Structure 1
Amino acid sequence: MTTHKPADHNAVSPYLLVQDVQSMLLFLTATFGAVEIYKMTLPDGSVKHAEVRIDDSIVMLGERPDGRDPVVCSTHVYVPSVDDCYSRALAAGASSISAPADQSYGDRSAGVRDPEGNIWWLGTYLGKA
C-alpha cells in the first residue's frame, strides 16, 4: 500500500544544513550511536543528502550549496542516560550549555552545542514531577 512517507520514518524529522556532513555524521554517531541509513554523494565529494537513525527517529543532513553559512537549529533528544550522552558529546567536540541536572518537570536534562553550532537538548524522562 502506498503511503505519504517512507517506511520507518516519523512524520517530522530534523533536517540539518551544515558545512561538513561527514564531520556531523561522526559527531552524531559518537554522541547518539546514530546509524547511517542513506547517503548521496556528489562527484565533487560533497554530500547532497544523508539520513541517520537515532533511536526511533530519522535526522536528515545536507551541505549548504555554494559554501553558504549553515543553518543552526535546536533539537531535543530523549536518551537512556543524559550523563553518558553528555559526556560522549563533549568528547566528540561539543561545548557545554548546561550540565546534566534533574528538572522540576520530571526529566534529567543537559544541553550541548555541536562543532557546527547546533544546540542539542538531551533528556531522560524520570517520571511525573
Structure 2
Amino acid sequence: MADMSKRPALVSAVVYKDAMAAFEWLQSAFGFEPAMLITDADGNLAHSEMIFGDGWIMVGNEWSDDHRSPANLGGKNTQTVHVQMSTDIDAHCEHARKAGAEILMEPETQFYGDRTYRARDPEGHIWTFGQTVKQVEPEDWDRDTGLKTKIWP
C-alpha cells in the first residue's frame, strides 16, 4: 500500500473522458501502479492517484470546461508528462506500443545522455519517457551543441 503522506511536492493531474479506462490502461501500457482509487455510488471513478518510481500522477474525469481531455479538444495538449525511468526504455516503448500507445518519437539518445521516446495515449495525452544511458556534463553538451547551460546550486 502506498504511503499517502509521502507524496512528492509536485503531482500532475491528467484529465480523461473515461478516467476509469485510462486508470487501467496506464497500468497495463506504461506500468503505473495504483495508489488510490475513489469511486462513487455507481462505481465511477471520482479520484485516483498512481505511482511510477518515486513520481505520482492523479487521473480524473473531465469536470469543468477548463478541465478537458485532449480527445475533446481536437487532440491539443497544454502540457505533457515526462517520466524518468531506470529500466530498459526500448522494452518499455515496445510494451506501450503493443498496448495501443501511438509512438510519436522512437527511442533516441539525446545530447544530454538520456534515451527518450514519446507516446500518445488513447485519449491524446502525450507522454515522454526517459532513461539516463550515459553521463554527459553540461560543458560537454554546450561544446557539442552550441547551447549555453546554467545550473543553479
In the alignment, what sits opposite 2:143?
A: none
Identity %: 27
Aligned equivalent of 1:85, options 86, 92, 96:
92
Residue by residue, what CA displacement relative to the aligned partner does 1:70-104 show, whole Å, maximum 9, x if unpaired? 15441111121211111111112110110011111
Q: TM-score, normalised by structure 1?
A: 0.85
1:113 aligns with 2:145: no
How many correspondences in the alignment? 124
Task: After TM superposition, give the deviation of residue 66 of structure 1 in Å.
Answer: 7.2
Which letter does structure 2 place at the counterpart of 1:24? Answer: A
Deviations 1:6-53 (A, max 9, x none): 522100011011111222122221233222111111123321100111
Matches of 2:89 and 2:68 in 1, distance apart? 30
Q: Distance in 1 between matches of 2:99 and 2:23?
A: 11
In 2, Cα distance between the equivalents of 1:66 and 1:10? 26
- Identify which of 25, 28, 31 aligns with 2:26: 28
Which structure has greater helix proportion?
2
1:75 to 81, 89, 95: 81
Q: State the Cα RMSD in Å.
A: 1.9
Structure 2: gaps of 5 or more residues:
71-76, 137-153
Higher RCO structure, 1 or 2 (CA under 8 Å, sep 6+)? 1
Q: Which has the larger radius of gyration?
A: 2
Q: TM-score, normalised by structure 2?
A: 0.73
Moved more, 81-90 or 111-120: 81-90
